């Protein structure tokens, strides 16, 4: 089971010779495949290699080239690119300091590069210093984080494989959507109130994650209430390659307002990232794309601090 998350913070410089090895592995003559022409899967919402649950691949132009396929990751404060992308764009190492890459299971120091411009739709981020990611996120060219989205509206249509990023304009949600509010802080992930088997739970909306993962506090609360499940061992590997152990357990329904998501098997583990968000001692769950991908449409309005969900019918 693979699980990935991206977050970074500045750290003192490490050996640039060692860090340059990542970029050296990439072929500078690699050419880009246009998303709309040759992609074998859905155009914008690509299936994962493990279970065909779609993660959101956004077509992003970097320094005027592309589009590159970046995974939209609502758990990431910054964007990041792979060594291949850095090599294609001839981005030099050593001009910006390395950063600490924080995954769900551990941390690692990685090199960074400076981008002149990153653009998709109405989103333009200029002069960003981004990490070179050691993991390609299921074959994508990197991750698209939340930097620059404070006044934006992200619309994801799973049924039609579309993603658009526009200015919010502060408009109200359309009919048929369930609306949930989250805190106005781009330095933290989208956290909303949910119920799992009737247990009040903090739910982190994590479009960068393949699978849904809960902490031990939620497992204990569910066992105390009404069920004693059979568990089987599972392992969680993050973007930093560190591994944590967990237990996969059949779990009750996840209620997000009036919308119910059925995700029969969830892995429970006190991940390192739960500690980082101070969510070890209260029920919490990372809702990944195995659950979110069952929706028809998902809208994140960062200006209104609203998460809008439309369930799939038929």
Single out the residue of 113, 123, 115 nearest to residue 64, CA to CA: 115
Specify the pLDDT at position 116. 96
Whole-prediction pTM: 0.80
Specify the pLDDT at position 46. 62
Q: Give residue for tokens 């990944």.
A: 288
**pLDDT, tens digit, 9 for 90 and up, residues 52-110:** 556 788 899 999 998 999 989 888 888 999 999 999 999 988 889 998 877 665 677 88
Helices (H), the chain: 16-24, 35-38, 83-88, 216-225, 272-276, 289-292
Joined tokens for residue 197: 């088997």
Q: Report, as ranges of residue numbers, the positions in the chain whose pLDDT lies below 50.
A: 1-41, 48-51
The β-bridge partners of 110 are: 99
Rounded mean pLDDT of the chain? 78
Single out the residue of 157, 153, 128, 155 nearest to residue 143, CA to CA: 128
Specify the pLDDT at position 228. 65
Specify the pLDDT at position 93. 83
Cis-peptide, bond into residue 253, ω within 30° of zero: no
């Amino acid at each position: 089971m693979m699980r990935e998350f991206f977050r970074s913070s500045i750290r003192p410089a490490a050996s640039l010779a060692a860090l340059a090895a990542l970029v050296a592995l990439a072929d500078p003559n690699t050419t880009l495949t246009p998303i709309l022409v040759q992609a074998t899967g859905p155009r914008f919402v690509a299936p994962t290699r493990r279970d065909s649950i779609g993660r959101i691949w956004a077509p992003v132009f970097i320094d005027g080239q592309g589009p590159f396929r970046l995974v939209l990751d609502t758990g990431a404060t910054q964007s990041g690119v792979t060594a291949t992308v850095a090599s294609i764009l001839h981005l030099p190492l050593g001009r910006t300091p390395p950063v600490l890459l924080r995954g769900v299971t551990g941390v690692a120091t990685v090199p960074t590069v400076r981008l002149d411009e990153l653009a998709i739709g109405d989103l333009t981020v200029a002069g960003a210093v981004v990490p070179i990611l050691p993991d390609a996120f299921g074959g994508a060219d990197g991750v698209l984080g939340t930097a620059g989205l404070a006044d934006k509206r992200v619309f994801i249509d799973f049924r039609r494989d579309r993603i658009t990023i526009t200015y919010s304009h502060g408009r109200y949600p359309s009919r048929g959507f369930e609306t949930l509010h989250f805190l106005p802080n781009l330095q933290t992930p989208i956290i909303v109130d949910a119920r799992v088997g009737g247990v009040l739970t903090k739910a982190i909306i994590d479009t960068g994650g393949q699978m849904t993962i809960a902490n031990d506090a939620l497992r204990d609360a569910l066992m105390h209430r009404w069920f004693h499940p059979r568990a089987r061992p599972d392992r969680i590997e993050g973007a930093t390659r560190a591994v944590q152990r967990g237990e996969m357990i059949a779990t009750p329904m996840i209620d997000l307002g009036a919308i119910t998501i059925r995700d029969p098997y969830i892995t429970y583990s006190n991940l390192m990232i739960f500690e980082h968000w101070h969510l070890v001692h209260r029920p919490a769950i990372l809702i990944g794309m195995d659950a979110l991908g069952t929706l028809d449409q998902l809208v994140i309005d960062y200006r209104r601090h609203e998460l809008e969900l439309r369930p799939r019918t038929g």
